[in-house]
Amino acid sequence: MVRSVTKPVSEWRAMIASAVFLASVASLVFLTNEIASPVLPYVAILAGGSALVSLLLWRDAKISAKTVLLVAAFGHIIALFGQTIFEDDYYRFLWDGWMTLQGGTPYGVPPELFIDDPAIPRAMQNVLEWVNYPQYPTIYGPLLQILFAFTSFFAGENEFGLRILFASGALILSALIARRHSAGRTALFAWNPLIVAESTLHLHPDIFLGLGLFAAVLAGKHRPMLAGLFFAASAGVKIVALAAWPMLIRLAPSALIAAVVGLAALYGIFAVQGQGVGFDSTETFATLWYFNPIAFEPLLVVLGPAWGRLASLLLAGALVVWFHASARDYDSVPIAPIFGAILLFAPAVNAWYLLWLLPFALDRRDIWPYVASAVLPLSYLTGLNLEIYELEAFEVHPIAHRIEWVLLAGAITIDLFRRFRSSPSPLPNRNPIAEPKVSVIIPALNEAESVGQTVRGIRLANPVGLHEVIVADNGSTDETASVAKSTGALVISEPKRGYGAACLAALGRVDRSSNIILFMDADLSDDPADAEKLLTPVIQGSTDLVIGSRTIGKIEVGAMSAPQRFGNWLAPTLVRLIWGHRYTDLGPFRAIRRDTLEHLAMADRDFGWTIEMQVRAAKMDMRTLEVPVTYRKRVGVSKISGTVKGVFAAGWKILFVITREAFGDFGQSDRAREITESGQVVQDKAQQSQSAV
């Protein structure tokens, strides 16, 4: 019998993709060595090669990581023999490196002052003749200046040293990507002709920004100080890397300290020399430079230059903050969309800016980054490169620009539509709780008038599984404790004031056999008759947390003040905007599985208790449910709505908790994901074992 030697389709796709990649790079190198390099074929090969490789590798191909890196290395080696003909930024790099070696800093002095200076060697005078915008001092970051000086030391004015440097950066980044992603996904980055073109061939140092950030992501929680240093390195390449720095808040404090100290050290090396660090030139380019804009263009037309730039800055900033806040944890921060938002609203957009985000596009299945890698090379079709003198030198041809705009807008629209349509799969129901044991926790502060009726009310309602009633006396100065004891409740004392503190103290005394916790207030505002509605879904296993919603239920006249109603609208709205989870209320009457509550690792000790519980449940994709409840006028004066101080303190704390949870992991995500993904926890397994016995 003859054994089949037919290769799987995925292997064929990988082979074809590698051939397209190498052929594209070789063709680009060939064209750059022509006497009069034609820009149209060049752009067509670069854009077409990037598009075709992306299509071939979109579905994970069967290939080894070693092969991916070897093919990528071969592509960069080919690119070493090319010429940089449509870009001239590298002359500035050569000049900066030489100036750093000679005088310690390239900052503060425009290159034009040295033209025809007899003290400048002839070789560097030749470089000076091609430095773009010689009237401005350099804007490139301090880490780049160190790298430029390094290559200048070994290669002088020869750009071959830069080619070796940038090729090395791209290959190291590819190797790091292979540690996080499959070989097929790594090839989607490493074999993209744009990566080779914009690093080794066009000599753009942006590859080091991507390298620094990716190394920071890999170091992450295991080596926070090292991650901080990599964040510093990325910002030392280009200051735009600061857009990713909110990730540092999710790590140990040492990460942020290392990042700040590291970046300060990089800039300090040059700042101490008294010639600045390039921020003056950066400000000039940021306010005046305008090239190949995307979403900024319509804003400019509608609002004008000043307001258009301001609106773009605000919109991009809002998107960056939202992307950070909506991420569940450090590892899921969407870095590609963060930089994509910046580029979308930037006044100047170049193809090499994609080196910031393409390493992180592999984390998602969005198509817009790969469409961008195929269309942004059209930005090379300028009046200067096309030799169309009716256009400004750096004006992109209108047809090319419109193609960019339409295809990118289409790709973004498709991605948004796909995300809208692909709602997450519902989590499976957990095993019903065969023997429910409910512990009722009632925080109380000076509630002597009502706590007795509250305890008697829940006992009279006698919901399924009622096991114990715990009153947490939160430092009352009246007879709250003695009244509660007289009703048979277990009374524990927590003298340190705070709603959350009282709840945490009570949880520490819950009977070990209890498997459901029911929280309610002691002021008779919660109707004990509603307890059954809250407990039933938890017992049935259809949900983990049930919140009694006053908003969708019945609120007695005068039971809620205007500030309470406003806060009840604002906080759930923010949760929905950030995490996409819909709540209608922060009601204190709620039931939750005990094991679920332990996974939430509650920590807030005052007014943020309820919102902390709901936000963490939303972040962890836990099953939550709201049921309508009746909310009655409380007995006595509310500690929150009854005073102006209470209203402001509660409102501030709720907003603080939302902000804190938006930008923090606090070590809970990994543990919580175990319960949400499996739908089963230790207690369920124990129940199964008991059933088997």
What pLDDT, in 10s, does the model give residues 672-684?
444 334 433 433 4
Last residue of a domain, one of 255, 286, 317: 286
As for how many domains the chain has, the answer is 2
Are 90 and 200 within 8 A, CB to CB? no
Residues of the chain by 3-state class (helix, strand, coil), percent to 5: 60, 5, 35
Q: Rounded distance, CA 508 to CA 602, Å?
A: 12
Tell me whether residue 480 is exposed, middle or buried, using C-beta atoms within 10 angstroms of its C-beta: 0 to 12, 13 to 18, 19 or more: buried
Parent domain of 603: 438-674
CATH number at residue 475: 3.90.550.10
Are 258 and 230 within 8 A, CB to CB? no
Are 606 and 499 within 8 A, CB to CB? yes
Q: Is residue 626 part of a domain?
A: yes
Query: What is the pTM (predicted TM-score) of this model?
Result: 0.84
- Residue 110 has a CB neighbour count (10 Å cut-off) of 15
Last residue of a domain, one of 257, 286, 315: 286
Q: Is residue 617 part of a domain?
A: yes
Q: Is residue 690 part of a domain?
A: no
Please compute, for residue 471, the number of CA atoms within 13 A of its CA located in the half-sphere on the CB side: 31
pLDDT over 90, % of the chain:
75
Tokens of 244: 């990713």
Q: Is residue 385 part of a domain?
A: no
Last residue of a domain, one of 258, 286, 314: 286
Q: Is residue 530 part of a domain?
A: yes
Q: Is 291 helix (H, G, I), strand (E, B) or coil?
A: strand
Q: Rounded distance, CA 157 to CA 150, Å?
A: 12
Tokens of 391: 């256009």
pLDDT the model gives residue 1: 41
Q: Is residue 668 part of a domain?
A: yes
pLDDT the model gives residue 426: 59
Q: Rounded distance, CA 326 to CA 321, Å?
A: 9
Rounded average pLDDT per 10-residue block, the chain, 693 residues = 57 94 98 87 97 94 94 98 93 97 95 92 94 94 97 95 97 97 96 98 97 96 94 97 95 95 97 93 85 92 91 95 90 95 96 97 94 97 91 93 95 91 66 94 94 96 95 94 95 93 94 96 94 96 94 89 84 90 93 93 89 92 93 73 61 87 65 40 41 41
**Which residues contact residue 168 at a Cβ distance below 8 angstroms, ignoring those fewer than 6 apart?**
none
Q: Is residue 612 part of a domain?
A: yes
**Which residues contact residue 693 at a Cβ distance below 8 angstroms, ignoring those fewer than 6 apart?**
none
Q: Rounded distance, CA 438 to CA 451, Å?
A: 19
Are 105 and 99 within 8 A, CB to CB? yes
Cα 506 to its chain centre, rounded Å, is 36
Q: Rounded distance, CA 28 to CA 86, Å?
A: 12
